[in-house]
Amino acid sequence: MADTPKILLEGVRKAFGGNAVLDGVDLAIERGESMVIIGQSGSGKSVMLKCILGLIRPDRGAIRVDGEDLMAMSARELETARAKFGMLFQGSALFDSLPIWRNVTFALTQGRLRDSAKMRKIAAENLERVGLGSEVLDLRPSELSGGMQKRVALARAIAPRPEIIFFDEPTTGLDPIRADVINDLIVELVEELGVTALTITHDMASARKIAHRVAMLYQGRIVWSGPRDRLYDSGNPYVDQFVQGRAEGPIR
C-alpha cells in the first residue's frame, strides 16, 4: 500500500448557513511529506484542518487517513484514530486551568494525575525543543506572552510523537529568530522522525523553508498545488498575486 496517501480529501464541502466555506476540496498528502497550505484570511484553511480532525463534520465528500474513511467511523474509532494526530491550534488553545507542564503532557495523561516526576521531565524535554526553559513548568498559560503560549502549544502537539502534525500558523506572533527555530523544528520532525506535516501559514519565508509542496485554497477549492520551488513561478495568477502580496489581481 505504498501508494496510499497518508491523508486524502475528496470533494470536501462545508457550508455555514448559506456560506460554502469549503466547496469541493481535493487534496492528497503523502506519507512523510510536508505540505503547506496558503490562502487568504477567512478562506477556510482552519475549517479544513478541523474537518480532517473530525471536529467539524463536512456536508459532503470523503476524508481518508491511511486509506480509512474517517466519516464512516464510530465515535470510539475516531478517538483511536486521533492518536495519529497532533494539532497546534491557531489561538494556542492551552488549558488555562492547568500549569504548563500538565498542558504539555496532556496527551499522555489524558488529564489524570499520574507519574508527576516523569511527566515534568517529559514536559521539560519538549519545552526545550521549542526553546523554552524549565522555569515555565509551573506557570499558568495566562502568565506567558502570546509567543510563548504558541510555543507551549507546539510542545503539547509534539509531545506524544504523533505521525501526523497540523500546524495552524506556527510562526504568527513570533519574532523572526524564534520563528526560524520553529521552522527548523518542523523540518527536523519531518526529515528525522518521518512525520507527515500539514502547515497553514501566511509567512512565505517559513513556507519556503519547511514545505515540500504548497497548495493554495481559494473560494473553497484547491486552485493550485505544486512543489515549493514552483511557488514563485507557478504560472497561476492567484498564487502569483498572493505570494507577491499585490492588491491588484484576480483576487479581491
Partner 1 sequence: MSATLQPVIGFFGSIGRLFIAALAAIGRVTVFAATTISRAVRPPYYPSRLFEQLMQIGWFSLPVVGMTAIFSGAALAQQTFTAGSRFNATSTVPAIVVLGIVRELGPVLVGLMVAGRVSSAMAAELGTMRVTEQLDALTTLRTDPYRYLIAPRLFAALIAIPLMVLVANAIGIFGGYFVAVYKLGFNAVGYLDTTRQYLTATDLQMALVKSAFFGFFIALMGCYHGFRAQGGAAGVGRATTDAVVSAFILILLSNMIITLMAFG
Ligand X SMILES: Nc1ncnc2c1ncn2[C@@H]1O[C@H](COP(=O)(O)OP(=O)(O)OP(=O)(O)O)[C@@H](O)[C@H]1O
Binding site residues, ligand X, CB under 6 A = 16, 21, 39, 41-47, 90
Q: Is 94 in the site for partner 1 (CB under 8 A)?
A: yes
For the bound state, the minimum distance from the C-beta of residue 234 to partner 1, rounded and expressed in Å, comes to 32
**Contacted entry of partner 1, ligand X, Mg ion, none for residue 43, CB cut-off 5 to 8 Å set by kind:** ligand X
Cβ-based neighbours of 217, under 8 Å, separated by 6 or more: 25, 37, 38, 39, 43, 44, 45, 48, 223
Q: Is 107 in the site for partner 1 (CB under 8 A)?
A: yes
Report residue 98 as a C-alpha cell: 492547568
Q: Which of 20, 53, 62, 139 binds partner 1 (CB under 8 A)?
A: 53
Q: How far apart are CA 55 and CA 246, in angstroms?
A: 34
Contact between 196 and 32 (Cβ < 8 Å):
yes
Q: Is 92 in the site for Mg ion (CB under 5 A)?
A: no
Residue 1 C-alpha from the chain's centroid: 25
Report residue 139 as a C-alpha cell: 506557570
Binding mask 137-166 for partner 1 (x = CB under 8 A): -------------------x----------
Cell 516523569, residue? 118
Q: Is 46 in the site for Mg ion (CB under 5 A)?
A: yes
Closest CA to 221 of 51, 24, 12: 24
For the bound state, the minimum distance from the C-beta of residue 16 to Mg ion, rounded and expressed in Å, comes to 14
Q: How far apart are CA 246 and CA 227, in angstroms?
A: 22
Q: How far apart are CA 204 and CA 121, in angstroms?
A: 35
Q: With contacts defined by CB under 8 A, how many residues of the chain interact with partner 1?
A: 25
The stretch among 20-28, 108-116, 198-206, 212-220 that binds partner 1 (CB under 8 A) is 108-116
For the bound state, the minimum distance from the C-beta of residue 108 to partner 1, rounded and expressed in Å, comes to 9
Q: Which residues bind partner 1 (CB under 8 A)?
A: 50, 53-55, 79, 82-83, 85-87, 89-91, 93-97, 106-107, 110-113, 156
